[in-house]
A and B are shown apart, each in its own frame.
Chain A
Amino acid sequence: MDLLIDSFISAFLLLWSLDPELYFIIYVSLKVSLSSTLIASVLGVPIGFLIAFREFWGKRVVITTFNSLLAIPTVVVGLLVYAFISRRGLLGILDLLYTQTAMVIGQVILIFPIVVSLTIAAISQIDVRYRKTAMTLGATPFQTALVVFREARFGVIAAIIASFGRVIAEIGISMMLGGNAKGYTRTMTTAMALEYDKGEFVLGVALGIVLLLISFTINIFFNYLQGRSRA
């Protein structure tokens, strides 16, 4: 118990002292996670919207596939991307392994299905009468699509936030593709795992506090938006 209390006190002091190593780890985590969330959203939201909005042959199969990919383990994505970007891999020539770019690629693959699936869910729950209203008021197909998207906006933002929550807390991809290199690819989760291995708790607990704060903030915001989308 003393160990935990001591660790907490030291962790707060570390946070308070603006320790450069600690804040650089937080910076790398946020940079990589925000980048992957941004890319996955730019790709996933329009695709999710199109899948939900349009009728096409095999639509149910596509939706089921994306839903199944929600449960994909991070280590599987890590292995898959590793196979491509390692020296012997197809994209080995690009020398991406153990870089932040590699981490971003892995994380995008991880959360792309989440963005797509949750966007589909958000668009699908929009009452069909909104589409009919826009059409009858003279909207073009594109303007009608924008109306539906606008009505689903809180749900779509919630999808993006949920995806960010997934990547900021993941460790498998960051470890396997980033390599936990100090001052370069070390993120909050990989640093915590390393500190645990070393038996050093102070930095780990400090990072844990930050990670929890971020998770709390995300969840509060997520719940708020979900409430708005149901209102």
Chain B
Amino acid sequence: MVFEIIDLKKVFGDRTVLDIPHLYFEKGIMYSLLGPNGSGKTTLLEILSLISPPTTGRIRYNDRDVVFTGNNLTPLRRKIVMVQQNPVLFTTTVYKNLEFGLKIRGISKKEREKIIEGSLDLVGMRDFMNAEAHKLSGGETQRVAIAQALACSPRVMFFDEPTSNVDVENQIAIERIMMEINAQKEISVIFTTHNLNQASKLSRKVISLFEGRLVPSIYENIFRGKIVRDEDGNGICLIQDKIRLMIETEKTGFVRLSLDPCKIEIMKDQYIQHGKNIFKGRLIQLTYEHDHIRVVVDIGIPLNILLPVDQPRNEPLIIGDEVGIFCPSDGIQVF
């Protein structure tokens, strides 16, 4: 186990932005922290990368408690590096940017040169070695920042939204680099993303966060809704005032709920019936992912559905089709 979190809380003013009872990360595995903006992903990453202390709770690194006071952190920080969202490079050359982490580790000049060249090679930026860092484009800066982190030979690398501000070409390159870092260099990689496809595609384990709390990762369709009652006292959850979902719950007021993507059923236009928790929508995405097919249907809100690859189908699904979806009550969880 490389990291373990126990009863961790981060509070800003009177707002608890992170509340995680227990979470652990195994060595050498690529993890993604998935969640919308404001779900606490970056805060968690900054705590794990030992840049910011938690308000309460414990962090264990390699089965030892991390102490956030005094000079204990610097030796630990030298084993873990974080590449920030929109990273900045020091106002000097690319070479000197990479040299910084090596110099403070007391690595010899000759060795430094070798490591810097190797790291820039891995991210495809060797030609920019003597370029002024602040003149690089966003994607190039991101790649140099990865090389800068990589040059420090970390055991764990954190990436905060690594492709959120780069073009498609750089996005593909960065995803490839992350996979190489994890597979070839055996570095544990933990990255944040709000992109479900990226999380599923790159990471072996997806950790879902919503409003600072862990939510089970199988529940990918997480929404905020309001419970109201009809005249018969039945519970209806209003999601974004667009979707009325019949649910059985004792809760009232605002709740979070998730719809299990493996349990949602999809039907073609001619088979759509009217009934409880059946909604019409348009198929907007079809993706092949490891052992299932991801279907995204817009029913006023985007809904993810996972279908087994080998499931027999009467008719093929085509993007743009009008389809019906059914949310069975055993696939709805309110929390």
Interface residues of A (CB under 8 A from B): 127, 129-130, 132-141, 143, 147, 150-151, 231
Contact of A138 among B74, B90, B91 (CB under 8 A): B74
| Contact of B101 with A by CB under 8 A | yes
Cross-chain contact A132 with B105 (CB below 8 angstroms): no
B76-88 vs A, Cβ < 8 Å mask (1 yes, 0 no): 0110111010111
CA separation between A158 and B71, bound complex, in Å?
Answer: 34
Contact of A137 among B71, B86, B152 (CB under 8 A): B152
Cross-chain contact A151 with B86 (CB below 8 angstroms): no
Cross-chain contact A151 with B104 (CB below 8 angstroms): no
CA separation between A46 and B104, bound complex, in Å?
Answer: 23
B34-52 vs A, Cβ < 8 Å mask (1 yes, 0 no): 0000000000001001010
- Chain A nearest CB: distance from B26 CB in Å? 22
Cross-chain contact A136 with B49 (CB below 8 angstroms): yes
- Chain A nearest CB: distance from B131 CB in Å? 15
CA separation between A138 and B101, bound complex, in Å?
Answer: 7
CB contacts (< 8 Å) of B82 on chain A: these are 132, 136
CB contacts (< 8 Å) of A140 on chain B: these are 71, 74, 104
| Contact of B134 with A by CB under 8 A | yes
- Chain B nearest CB: distance from A124 CB in Å? 16
Tell me the residues in window 12-61 of chain B with beta carbons closer than 8 Å to chain A beta carbons: 46, 49, 51
Cross-chain contact A129 with B149 (CB below 8 angstroms): no
CB contacts (< 8 Å) of A143 on chain B: these are 104
CB contacts (< 8 Å) of B89 on chain A: these are 133
- Chain A nearest CB: distance from B158 CB in Å? 8
CA separation between A193 and B87, bound complex, in Å?
Answer: 55
Residue on B nearest A126 in the bound complex, by CB = B88
| Contact of B148 with A by CB under 8 A | yes
CB contacts (< 8 Å) of A133 on chain B: these are 84, 87-90, 145
| Contact of B288 with A by CB under 8 A | no
Cross-chain contact B87 with A139 (CB below 8 angstroms): no
Cross-chain contact A137 with B88 (CB below 8 angstroms): no
Cross-chain contact A137 with B84 (CB below 8 angstroms): no
Cross-chain contact B81 with A136 (CB below 8 angstroms): yes
CB contacts (< 8 Å) of A136 on chain B: these are 49, 51, 77, 80-82, 84, 149
Cross-chain contact A137 with B148 (CB below 8 angstroms): yes
CA separation between A64 and B80, bound complex, in Å?
Answer: 39
| Contact of B100 with A by CB under 8 A | yes
Tell me the residues in window 63-99 of chain B with beta carbons closer than 8 Å to chain A beta carbons: 71, 74, 77-78, 80-82, 84, 86-91
CA separation between A203 and B71, bound complex, in Å?
Answer: 62
CB contacts (< 8 Å) of B77 on chain A: these are 135-136, 138
Residue on B nearest A140 in the bound complex, by CB = B74
Contact of B91 among A137, A139, A151 (CB under 8 A): A151
- Chain B nearest CB: distance from A142 CB in Å? 10
Cross-chain contact B74 with A137 (CB below 8 angstroms): no
- Asked if A135 meets B104 with Cβ closer than 8 Å, knowing A140-B71, A151-B90, the reply is no
- Asked if A132 meets B90 with Cβ closer than 8 Å, knowing A137-B104, A138-B104, A231-B134, the reply is no
Cross-chain contact B84 with A129 (CB below 8 angstroms): yes
- Chain B nearest CB: distance from A78 CB in Å? 41
